[in-house]
């Protein structure tokens, strides 16, 4: 049985403590030895070597490492070094960009900085460090104090606790010490418990510590953050899948070529069992060919280009108010199809605001309230304060009372002037859960005046008159029905309703007789309070809907408020489900998974429930964004494909656990980030299409040359040069295309969809086979002229230039021509031209390293013209496809 289900006397007895005496020094020391300090256990930090090893486990990197080792073993030093340089570049970029380790747990620990707490020890109240608290300690807290550990209330006076960072509720929670019988009582409704890290916004409390350190609710979240292992993002899964397929194809082909070479030697009598030594040079050459084939198959530049492209786009997204903390999140957010959003502070402003006023018998605008009695009630029947800077209000105290002071300010009333004028109250009646109202009395010139505010039904019950149309008249049934009807309308829209009344006394009453004081009051009116939606949220939700993205609200708030917010956003349909966390707690994983598509709201949500929802969505092949700003959001932020935290209102814990931090706290920035992510995904497809064409050409050319009896067309170093250096800059410019406008009109890419589409595959194969055919023609016919010694250089240079021209083909998808938009990517034109100049230098002056010979100017012009044919071929193919699509989409009628 939990402590909230027990009487406070039983809790004190069970924990062997005493409200007046507290613990003895000896007992406290013994308990600290037994239970440990009131701190969180530190998280083990991941060393730089572990990060490097993780990077080296990528399938493409593993293949390259094996190829490099084989090259070195075979004595090909330059090839081996070239391969290892490729690995070093890719690994370094990834480690440097993600060099900042996850600091979520460290930030959580900072919230428990060593503050001092009032504690009863040996019958004396002393100040102790928070870390020295132990189970059974009696603590005294008051307004402004941070709760140092989980504790059970003993006594409290007018107590309000801000638990928003833990529960997600914007409104301060009122507390009382009565036991709770409900076994499955949600955290937010445990009114007799205090939780570590929350704040006392008003009142005083005496409580007994029940949990410390890792055992507190905050500590449990800390442990979840430590233990949660982030799964691979959709992009990582797709690239890993691509790498595995390439690995398998490359390895099988390399083994096949090696066996083919060995069989050829055996057939020609070179390989005989009695004289294997004579065949060793041939076997060595077969190994070299196999390694070259693997190098040809693997897109060595792909890991490097992914890292560089993400790094560049990370900077661009930061300029658009989306600070990307984890590199891969740049792209991953583009593939999401579900957004699990917190409500408070994410969809709403996290500021209680007066939005409706009914006074003097009618509804009036919030900034047109001309009722002195009601505004005076706002200002002097209150203990809260506000400050205003640059038209922004800061709340100091109870958020509801602060919203009343803001309403007064909007009516050009300075509450401090009223308080100075009224002076000190002659009597105060604090809010209690039984009375559900509070009153404050002041001496005035003609006697005394009492101001009361509270629950609308409680205040209405103690009124017999009403301020109506400028006069105080007796309260009638018609008045009551009118008031109740208006209040129901507000409550149906999830407004929190607060009623106000006053009474004047000619003679000073017996203030201690509260029931005779709080009766026969004059009803002045009521107000509706809400935590309003952010101004941009509605449009952003509509954009999500058009983009095929489902939005679910997972909030710690109550179900009525959450339902009203979902209704305002147009999220609820006829078959939608709005549930409380207790409803899903009773479901099996399979049952919950089947209902998730229809679930729009989960109210009273907690970290465990959020984590469970994210896990089941991902199991259903959904890609999930989780948004939030509180400590309670941190585990789900970390577990999601992309965690998005609020940069202004968010806690440090949520920001450090997230992949992306919104610098403007705007939900619409998430939509903008999704657009960028989709653009990045398309850019990856562009340069994957480009690089795979390079690899298909190299791979197929090497195999066909071997089978047709030609000598090896490229050296291993030449292949590395093409794959990394020559393809790098053009591929990078493809990766930096700005996002196209149509991206938010498309449906999300499915999590299990291949990154290589059918259209891409068609282009890779058609363009690749065209280039292979052209290269084989060059090897066989010397069609471009040149000497015998220049032929291998001509083939190598033509291979490079074919790929440079083909970079332009890779810029457009489908049947779109490259020419209309070619001027919009001037960077690409410049980079391709510079890469061409570098190739000239390598060809003319890099002979010793790259095994090339210089070419005459006439030969260069011939090669340029010959390789430009890939552009003409691709455009002709698109023209045919447009024609066929036109025929089939517009058939001729008889």
Q: What is the 3-state secondary structure (H, E, C) of 565-580?
A: HHHHCCCCCCCCEEEE
- Strand duo 550-554 + 599-603: pairing: parallel
Question: Are the beta carbons of 309 and 732 closer than 8 angstroms?
Answer: yes
Number of H helices, E strands in the chain: 34, 26
Residue 422 is given by DSSP the state H
Task: Give the Cα separation of 737 and 822 in Å (integer).
Answer: 12
Task: Give the Cα separation of 69 and 67 in Å (integer).
Answer: 6
Task: Give the Cα separation of 578 and 599 in Å (integer).
Answer: 6
Q: What are phi and psi of 348, to 5 degrees?
A: -115, 175
Q: CA–CA distance from 229 to each of 95, 225, 639 (Å)?
A: 18, 9, 7
Question: Are the beta carbons of 148 and 232 closer than 8 angstroms?
Answer: no
Q: What are phi and psi of 643, to 5 degrees?
A: -95, 130
Tokens of 282: 């041939």
Q: Where are the beta strands (DSSP E) in 336-429?
A: 338-341, 353-359, 362-364, 385-389, 392-396, 427-429
Residues making up the chain, counted from first to last: 894
Max CA pair span of the chain: 127
The backbone region for 704, taken as left when phi is positive above 0, alpha when psi lies in -120 to 50, beta otherwise, is: alpha
Question: Are the beta carbons of 147 and 195 closer than 8 angstroms?
Answer: yes
Residue 645: its H or E element: strand 642-646
Task: Give the Cα separation of 615 and 601 in Å (integer).
Answer: 17
Task: Give the Cα separation of 335 and 190 in Å (integer).
Answer: 39
Task: Give the Cα separation of 342 and 631 in Å (integer).
Answer: 12
Question: Are the beta carbons of 646 and 664 closer than 8 angstroms?
Answer: no
Q: Helical H runs in 527-578?
A: 537-546, 559-568
Q: Is 629 a catalytic residue?
A: no
Of 102, 137, 162, 342, catalytic: 342
Which among 293, 227, 299 is positioned nearest to 257, based on CA atoms? 293
Tokens of 168: 């997600």
Task: Give the Cα separation of 812 and 798 in Å (integer).
Answer: 23
Tokens of 796: 């190598």
Task: Give the Cα separation of 129 and 618 in Å (integer).
Answer: 43
Coil vs helix vs strand at 116: strand
Q: DSSP letter string over 490-522?
A: HHHTT-EEEEEEEEEESS---TT-HHHHSSSEE
Residue 132: its H or E element: none
**CA dihedral of 765, 766, 768, 770, whole degrees rounded to 10:** 150
Task: Give the Cα separation of 668 and 529 in Å (integer).
Answer: 25
Which residues are marked as active site?
Answer: 342
């Amino acid at each position: 049985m939990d402590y909230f289900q027990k009487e406070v006397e039983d809790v004190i007895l069970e924990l062997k403590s005493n409200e007046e005496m507290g613990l003895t020094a000896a007992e406290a020391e013994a308990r600290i030895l037994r239970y440990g300090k009131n701190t969180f256990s530190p998280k083990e930090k991941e060393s730089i070597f572990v990060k490097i090893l993780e990077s080296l486990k990528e399938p493409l990197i593993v293949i390259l490492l094996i190829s490099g080792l084989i090259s070195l073993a075979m004595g090909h030093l330059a090839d081996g070094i070239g391969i290892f340089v490729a690995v070093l570049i890719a690994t370094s970029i990834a480690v440097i960009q993600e060099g900042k380790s996850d600091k979520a747990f460290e930030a959580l620990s900072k919230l428990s900085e060593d503050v001092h707490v009032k504690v009863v020890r040996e019958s004396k109240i002393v100040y102790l460090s928070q870390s020295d608290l132990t189970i059974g300690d009696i603590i005294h807290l008051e307004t402004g104090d941070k709760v140092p550990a989980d504790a059970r209330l003993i006594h409290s006076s007018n107590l309000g606790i801000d638990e928003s960072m833990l529960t997600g509720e914007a409104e301060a929670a009122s507390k009382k010490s009565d036991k709770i019988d409900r076994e499955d009582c949600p955290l937010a409704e445990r009114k007799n418990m205090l939780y570590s890290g929350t704040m006392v916004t008003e009142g005083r409390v005496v409580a007994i510590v029940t949990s410390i350190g890792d055992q507190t609710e905050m500590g449990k979240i800390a442990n979840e953050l430590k233990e949660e292992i982030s799964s691979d993002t959709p992009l990582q899964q797709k690239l890993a899948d691509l790498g595995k397929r390439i690995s398998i194809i490359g390895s099988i082909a390399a083994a096949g070529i090696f066996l083919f070479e060995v069989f050829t030697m055996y057939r020609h009598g070179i390989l005989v069992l009695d004289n294997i030594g004579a065949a060793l040079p041939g076997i060595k050459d077969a190994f070299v060919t196999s390694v070259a084939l693997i190098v040809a198959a693997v897109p060595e530049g792909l890991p490097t280009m992914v890292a560089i492209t993400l790094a560049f786009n990370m900077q661009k997204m930061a300029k658009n108010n989306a600070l990307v903390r984890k590199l891969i999140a740049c792209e991953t957010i583009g593939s999401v199809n579900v957004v699990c959003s917190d409500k408070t502070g994410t969809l709403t402003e996290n500021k209680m605001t007066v939005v409706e006023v009914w006074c003097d018998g009618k509804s009036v605008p919030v900034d047109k309230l001309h009722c002195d009695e009601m505004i005076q009630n706002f200002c002097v029947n209150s203990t809260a304060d506000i400050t205003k800077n640059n038209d922004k209000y800061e709340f100091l105290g109870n958020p509801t009372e602060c919203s009343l002071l803001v309403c007064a300010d909007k009516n050009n009333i300075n509450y401090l002037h009223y308080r100075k004028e009224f002076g000190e109250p002659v009597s105060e009646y604090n809010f209690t859960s039984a009375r559900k109202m509070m009153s404050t009395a002041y001496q005035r010139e003609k006697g005394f005046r009492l101001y009361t505010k509270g629950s609308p039904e409680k205040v209405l019950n103690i009124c017999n008159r009403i301020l109506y149309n400028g006069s105080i008249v007796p309260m009638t049934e018609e008045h009551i029905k009118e008031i109740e009807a208006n209040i129901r309308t507000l409550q149906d829209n999830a407004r929190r309703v607060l009623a106000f009344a006053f009474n004047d006394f000619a003679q000073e009453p017996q203030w201690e007789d509260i029931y005779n004081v709080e009766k026969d009051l004059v009803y002045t009116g009521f107000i509706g309070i809400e935590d309003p939606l952010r101004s941009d949220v509605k449009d952003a939700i509509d954009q999500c809907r058009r983009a095929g993205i489902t939005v679910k609200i997972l909030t710690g708030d109550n179900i009525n408020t959450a339902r009203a917010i979902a209704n305002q956003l147009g999220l609820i349909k006829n078959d939608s489900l709005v549930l409380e966390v207790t409803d899903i707690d009773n479901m099996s994983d399979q049952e919950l998974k089947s209902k998730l598509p229809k679930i729009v709201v989960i109210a009273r949500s907690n970290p465990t429930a959020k984590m469970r929802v994210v896990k089941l969505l991902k199991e259903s092949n959904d890609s999930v964004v989780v948004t939030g700003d509180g400590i309670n959001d941190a585990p789900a932020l970390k577990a999601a494909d992309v965690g998005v935290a609020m940069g202004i209102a968010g806690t440090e814990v949520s920001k450090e656990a997230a992949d992306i931090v919104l610098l403007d706290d705007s939900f619409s920035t998430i939509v903008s980030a999704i657009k960028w992510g989709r653009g990045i995904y398309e850019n990856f497809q562009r340069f994957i299409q480009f690089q795979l064409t390079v690899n298909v050409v190299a791979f197929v050319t090497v195999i066909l040359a071997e089978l047709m009896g030609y000598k090896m067309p490229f050296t291993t170093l030449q292949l590395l040069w093409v794959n990394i250096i020559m393809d790098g800059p053009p591929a990078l410019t493809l990766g930096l295309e700005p996002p196209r406008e149509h991206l938010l009109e498309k449906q999300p890419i499915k999590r299990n969809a291949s990154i290589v589409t059918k259209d891409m595959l068609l282009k890779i194969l058609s363009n690749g086979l065209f280039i292979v055919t052209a290269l084989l023609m060059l090897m066989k016919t010397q069609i471009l002229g040149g000497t015998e010694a220049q032929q291998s250089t001509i083939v190598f240079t033509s291979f490079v230039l074919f790929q440079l021209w083909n970079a332009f083909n890779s810029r457009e998808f489908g049947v779109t021509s490259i020419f209309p938009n070619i001027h919009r990517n001037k960077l690409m034109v410049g980079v391709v031209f510079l890469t061409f100049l570098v190739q000239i230098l390598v060809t003319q002056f890099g002979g010793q390293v790259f095994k090339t010979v210089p070419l005459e100017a006439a030969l260069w012009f011939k090669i340029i013209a010959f390789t430009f044919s890939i552009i003409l071929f691709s455009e002709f193919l698109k023209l045919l496809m447009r024609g066929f699509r036109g025929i089939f989409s517009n058939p001729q009628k008889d």
